[in-house]
Structure 1
Amino acid sequence: MSAFHAGKIAITEAVQLLSEEPEKQHGIYPQKGLLQPGTDADLTFIDPDKKEVFPRESLQNKSKVTAKTDFRMASLCGRWSGGRL
Structure 2
Amino acid sequence: MVVEGFIPEDCTDFAINLGTDEENFVLHFNPRFDLNGVKHKLILNSKVNNVGEEQRESFFPFMEGSDIMVCFQFALDKITIQLPTGNPFSFPD
**TM tier relative to shorter chain:** 0.3 to 0.5
- Normalization by structure 1: what TM-score? 0.32
Higher-strand-fraction structure: 2
- Normalization by structure 2: what TM-score? 0.31
Whose Rg is larger?
1
Higher-helix-fraction structure: 1
